Homo-oligomer: A and B are copies of this chain.
Amino acid sequence: MNLDAALSTSKLLAGAAFLHFNDDSTWYVYLATLLADRYNKFNNRRRLSSLPVNDEFGLIRQWTNPYQTAAMQKSLGVVVGIGDDAAVVEMKAGFQLVLSSDTMVQDIHFNEKTMRMSDVGFKAMAAALSDLSAMGAIPKYALVSLTLPKNADITLSKQLYEGLYACADQFGVAIVGGDTTSTLGGWVVTIQVTGEIEAGMALLRSTASPGDIVFITGPLGCSAAGLDYLNTESPLKLDLNQSESIERLIEKHRRPLPQILAGRTLLHSGSCHALNDISDGLASEAWEIAEASKVGILLNEAMIPRNPDLILYAELAGKSAMDWILYGGEEYQLIGTAPKSQVAFIEQEFKKNQLDYHIIGEVTELFAGVRLLQLDDIEVEIAKKGYNHFA
């Protein structure tokens, strides 16, 4: 197929027709879509957005084709995937559905300085999957609702989808549909995920019990420290060792991993009381458990793990590592509670799966809310404040 033919094909908004072409001509259609955009803009007959954006088929298929194959999707239980009014998927008997959605917004959750578009895609999927991990669920299906700026560079969408699929593939999630729209504002990415869970086994926030220990599944504050560096106006002079530390912090901000295996391990252990994912910071999530369970949570500063990269950067930047640990968000580690008698068993199960596990406090009925026993032995209430990217 030559470019003219591809151009007129793409002008037909023939998203579905992509399926009939071989791989080479798909590239022509893609190229022609770009050209058609310019053509339409120039002629002012159709707005840029009307070609790729309003054609849900065309745009989604375009990015989707190279990724999950029909065979891969079928193996995940997909009966009808992208391309009809809705997706149809299988669910196992004896399981319940777990449903959640998460939205990332340009200039609120990310900007050009802090995230590449592939990171935005990866992290949007990771954030939604993190909600499933906090219930102990198995992630299964995702819908991608993408709202992109009119006149957005179309290659940015492609990068976004690369990140989305990278995360979905890593966690065995089939992307089965969604919606694509344009806006006069910035990018908005909503990921809706569906998981399954053994009936009656979901791990809630409201089931913490006085006497429980409080644990987390990994060190905190790294994402917020990485973001702090990305937002720094005057660059620090760094040696190689420091640069590598900061690279790792940035990676934790851009590509956090949902703790699906930890959630499953906790569910299988039968020993976890309450569970929550740390999306808005340790303080805020501990508060959510305390309020939902009508208990107090006492965190012990001496027991809270300190990531060496975080400590190094906090010293370099002259800032408080503990602030990032308590109030830094988007770490997607889990915070949970369990009876003291089960601590050794849970620790053993975590070790089997090569997972990290740190006891950081206990559940009490002596007060309501969340307190921190500081290194100086003074007990202070922790503010219930959330995470703000660009405050």
Contacts and interface: CB of A to CB of B under 8 A. Distances in A.
A339 interface: no
A147 interface: yes
Interface stretch (A24-32, A100-108, A357-365): A100-108
Contact of A202 (B47, B88, B134, B178): B88
Contacts of A141: 97, 99
A217 interface: no
Contacts of A277: 85
A190 interface: yes
Contacts of A147: 103, 105, 188, 190
A105 B13 contact: no
Contact of A184 (B55, B89, B186): B186
Contacts of A204: 80, 84
The residue in A178, A190, A288 that gathers the most chain B C-beta atoms within 10 A of its C-beta is A190
A90 B96 contact: yes
Interface string A94-133: 0111111111111111000000000000000000001110
Interface in A162-211: 176-179, 181-186, 188, 190, 192, 194-195, 197, 199-200, 202, 204-206
Nearest to A391: B47
A292 interface: yes
Contacts of A391: 47, 50
A384 interface: yes
A89 B85 contact: no
Contacts of A176: 99
The residue in A104, A132, A181 that gathers the most chain B C-beta atoms within 10 A of its C-beta is A181
A202 B78 CA distance: 13
Contacts of A16: 288, 291-292
A292 B83 contact: yes
A150 B104 CA distance: 15
A96 B91 contact: yes
A97 B91 contact: yes
A388 B206 contact: no
Contacts of A194: 97, 99, 194
Contact of A85 (B85, B179, B192, B205): B205
B86 A177 contact: no
A11 to B, nearest CB: 9
9 contacts: A16-B288, A16-B292, A86-B195, A88-B96, A89-B99, A99-B176, A102-B145, A105-B182, A147-B188
